[in-house]
Structure 1
């Protein structure tokens, strides 16, 4: 029960890594608000895990205002925020990614962190406590070709995490990020361009432990970094990558 008594928001919590984080958080005793653009998916995840649900486009300020209010109405406070929602563009030469794709990737992967801070950080400052976890990627540490602007958005998240950690430490707020390697989630096909045995083998050949990351892997790492056991850890980018970044 590492998170007993804590109240958390998990964005992108309806599926993939987010769903794994929600499941482990609930197992560890946290109350959880599952936020997702897919409202039906969020409600299904909430029913199956005993959580609360909210629809949220993390790239929209009004949605963050509503999500923050919903969490405060449900729980009375926000102890943990997990910025997990993310998207990518399909693998292609950098100059062929159109402006709409670029804007959407940066809005969901980068602007969302800024918007979350506008609404959730004041709540945590009032409590003089809190843990924020941004889900970045090994792509921000060791970029893959043909995913250029996705790589850049995740590098932004890593730097934002460190900057937030420095500024918020005096307020009692810790900020860390996870850098997962590609996982067997709905986004995997988008990263690879096509889901074939040959393409999976190509990706797996870059991971020394020889497997993709799983939602459970992310949940376990997230639970540790958001728990009091990690009370002296802030500004860290934890690679959950099977050794890919070595």
Structure 2
């Protein structure tokens, strides 16, 4: 596959790592299907990638709804004919609570997006890629999916689920020409992290925060660089890899 003719679908494209990855893949000449629940920010990303000359569309979707996921997959195929790269990225953070204090609806909310959303994306994109006989999928997990973090048990469990889904899918589809990997960021300077800080203030629960060994959080563009590598032939012998991009946070 040449990147010039590739089609990439990015969920959570309206902000943060999704927007940064969209811009990075636009620079590589890919055609883009931008997916986000927030129509305003999604359209903003669409404008930014079009400024770079990319062919692109925006599709509003709730990744936890099967009909919405099928719609963005169908839109991608109807518009561009195929899906070569899938950045299965959309996710949310939980409000910080000790495990016994997590409201049941908060647990359900986090799992519906972070775990079910990734599952549904895999479910419907894999069917397209199987017909093509090739494809590259990058799931967004987290360092919390490798090493549990304090006061975010639901979030951590949902990201552990993403890690497991990644490995299971990679194993099952290894001989089909489809490669599936996951990227695990630590702290990233995104709106999601800013919202987490606000949630700390609202709940009054201050988690034990461990900072990256490098002494700073990542920029979204630094995660996008790794996504672009995993979305290229340069990662040709990688599948089922859980790639930490965390500034040494898990050391």
Report the counterpart of residue 141 of structure 2 in structure 1: 136
Report the counterpart of residue 199 of structure 1 in structure 2: none
In 1, Cα distance between the equivalents of 2:74 and 2:186? 33
SS in 1 for 2:243: strand
In 1, Cα distance between the equivalents of 2:200 and 2:194? 5
In 1, Cα distance between the equivalents of 2:208 and 2:198? 11
1:81 aligned to 73, 83, 86, which one?
A: 86
- Tell me whether 185-194 or 89-98 shows the greater mean CA deviation: 185-194
Alignment of 1:201-220 (within 5 A): 206-220=211-225
1:32-55 CA distances to partner (integer Å, 9 max, x unpaired)?
111000122111211111231110
Report the counterpart of residue 241 of structure 2 in structure 1: 236
In 2, Cα distance between the equivalents of 1:166 and 1:38? 33
Question: What is the root-mean-square deviation of aligned Cα atoms in Å?
Answer: 1.8
**Does structure 1 retain, via aligned residues, the 8 Å contact 2:33–2:58?**
yes
In 2, Cα distance between the equivalents of 1:95 and 1:190? 22
Tell me whether 1:94 sits opposite 2:99 in the alignment.
yes
In 2, Cα distance between the equivalents of 1:217 and 1:32? 20
Report the Cα offset of residue 143 of structure 1.
Answer: 1.7
Q: What's the TM-score once normalised by structure 1's chain length?
A: 0.93
Distance 1:203 1:243, change over 3 A: farther
1:82-127 CA distances to partner (integer Å, 9 max, x unpaired)?
1110012111111211111111110100111221122111110001
1:172-223 CA distances to partner (integer Å, 9 max, x unpaired)?
1000000001111111134345689xxxxx9886211111111101110000
In 1, Cα distance between the equivalents of 2:9 and 2:145? 24
Q: Unpaired segments of 5 or more residues in structure 1?
A: 197-201
Report the counterpart of residue 11 of structure 2 in structure 1: 11
Distance 1:93 1:64, change over 3 A: same
Report the counterpart of residue 179 of structure 1 in structure 2: 184
Report the Cα offset of residue 69 of structure 1.
Answer: 0.9
1:145 aligned to 134, 142, 150, which one?
A: 150
Q: Unpaired segments of 5 or more residues in structure 2?
A: 51-55, 202-206
Report the counterpart of residue 53 of structure 2 in structure 1: none
Tell me whether 1:113 sits opposite 2:125 in the alignment.
no
Distance 1:158 1:146, change over 3 A: same
In 2, Cα distance between the equivalents of 1:109 and 1:194? 18
In 2, Cα distance between the equivalents of 1:220 and 1:193? 28
Aligned length: 240
In 1, Cα distance between the equivalents of 2:5 and 2:200? 41
